[in-house]
């Protein structure tokens, strides 16, 4: 794959075709640069003293890892300096980040989870970065939280990066999904997974089974069917996976199919769910739908939710179309 198309070439071609503008190309290039820095930090880990807890909490009340803070700072700095965004919002920051006075503003907003799955970092399991691109309001120097309150259907682009055995950037700009692997020998992302599609059928699901006693009936019904295997009404055996890193779960589904579920349960009902709409659910839903899958809360399509607050949480069920449709139908039945 040494002659594979570079990300810079890919973006330039889309710009020449009039599908994206120069600011968008610059923004995605900045995102890629930020992820290269994070990949380096993740790869060196304890060699430079970056593993372990930072002994602080983010706005969600979650204990932050040292790499959570460092990844957020590096990603934010690069996007600020690039001049292609008017405002930023991160899972690790309490409020919308206003660019410093004098910094050039661009036509986009960017939301991101700089280090998804960071609870796994100390045990060397795949973690990642998730991002979403929205249109910024015109003529407004410092966009407010209200300006970010756009449904997932309004996203201009979405993507994630996995930091595992290889570093892979997966991107959609609304016309399919493509994956790029970081060639460490030259420091370039290269197109290695063009036109990624999710198989419509699957025999694999991912869910935290320890929460089974808290689930609503439709999810329990579906999982019980899977566990029954060939002896049940589905007449086939299912495999179960659970990594506790959304980027790892979604990437596996993009490559070979499957269903990822973090459903509503009695533990999280008051908060609305576990995963963040703006930083995780919306961008991953756009990617999954562009790859031919489905993404729902249970009763509703995630991408149509009208956001009410920056750190809003939602249930997430996504993956292979026919399996997610089955779960959706169970919710409609009540």
Domain boundaries, the chain: 7-193, 204-333
Query: What confidence score (pLDDT) does residue 316 get?
Result: 98
Query: What confidence score (pLDDT) does residue 151 get?
Result: 98
Query: What confidence score (pLDDT) does residue 292 get?
Result: 98
Q: Read out DSSP for 113-161?
A: EEEETGGGGGGT--EEEEEEEEEPPTT-SS--HHHH---GGG-SEEEEE
User: 7-193, which class in CATH?
Assistant: alpha beta
Kindly report the pTM of this predicted structure: 0.94
**Which residue ranges are tagged as binding site for Mg(2+)?**
91, 113, 115-116, 280
Largest Cα–Cα separation, the chain: 66
The answer to whether residues 87 and 136 touch, using CB atoms and an 8 Å cutoff, is yes
Distance CA 323, CA 329 (A): 10
Query: What confidence score (pLDDT) does residue 54 get?
Result: 46
**Which of 304, 218, 310, 198 minimizes the C-alpha distance to 261?**
218
Looking at CATH, the fold of the domain delimited by 204-333 is given as D-Maltodextrin-Binding Protein; domain 2 (3.40.190)
Distances (CA, A) of 195 to 98, 180, 238, 255: 36, 11, 26, 11
Q: How far apart are the first and last CA of the chain?
A: 50
Instruction: Supply φ then ψ for residue 55, to 5 degrees.
Output: 60, 30
Structure tokens at 300: 């509703």
**Which residue ranges are tagged as binding site?**
91, 113, 115-119, 208, 274, 280
Q: Which residues, given as ranges, of the chain have pLDDT below 70?
A: 1-2, 45-65
3-state SS record for 269-334: HHHCCCEEHHHHHHHHHHHHHHCCCEEECCCCEHHHCCCCCCCCEECEEEECHHHHHHHHHHHHHC
**Which residue ranges are tagged as binding site for substrate?**
116-119, 208, 274
Residue 109: Cβ-neighbour burial (10 angstroms; 0-12, 13-18, 19+): buried
């Amino acid at each position: 794959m040494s002659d594979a198309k570079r990300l810079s070439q890919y973006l330039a071609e889309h710009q020449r075709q009039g599908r994206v503008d120069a600011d968008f190309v610059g923004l995605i290039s900045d995102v890629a640069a930020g992820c290269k820095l994070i990949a380096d930090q993740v790869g060196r880990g304890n060699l430079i003293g970056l593993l372990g807890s930072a002994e602080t909490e983010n706005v969600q009340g979650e204990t932050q890892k040292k790499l959570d803070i460092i990844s957020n700072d590096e990603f934010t700095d690069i996007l600020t300096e690039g001049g292609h965004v008017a405002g930023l919002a991160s899972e690790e920051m309490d409020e919308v980040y206003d660019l410093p006075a004098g910094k050039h503003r661009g036509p986009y907003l960017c939301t991101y989870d700089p280090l998804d799955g960071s609870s796994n970092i100390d045990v060397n399991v795949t973690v990642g970065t998730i991002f979403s691109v929205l249109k910024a309001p015109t003529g407004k120097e410092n966009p407010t939280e209200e300006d970010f309150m756009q449904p997932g259907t309004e996203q201009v682009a979405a993507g994630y990066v996995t930091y595992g055995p290889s570093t892979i950037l997966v991107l959609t700009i609304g016309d399919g999904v493509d994956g790029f692997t970081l060639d460490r020998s030259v420091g370039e992302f290269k197109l290695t997974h063009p036109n990624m599609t999710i198989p419509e059928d699957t025999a694999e699901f991912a869910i935290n089974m320890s929460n089974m006693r808290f689930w609503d009936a439709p999810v329990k019904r579906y999982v019980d069917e899977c566990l029954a295997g060939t002896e049940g009404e589905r007449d086939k055996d299912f495999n179960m996976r659970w990594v506790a890193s959304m980027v790892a779960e979604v990437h596996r589904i993009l490559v070979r199919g499957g269903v990822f579920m973090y459903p509503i349960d009695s533990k999280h009902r008051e908060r609305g769910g576990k995963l963040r709409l703006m930083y995780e659910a919306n961008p991953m839903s756009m990617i999954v739908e562009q790859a031919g899958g489905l993404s729902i809360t249970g009763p509703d399509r995630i991408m149509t939710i009208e956001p009410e607050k920056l750190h809003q949480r939602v249930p997430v069920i996504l993956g292979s179309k026919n399996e997610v449709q089955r779960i959706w139908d169970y919710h409609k039945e009540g």
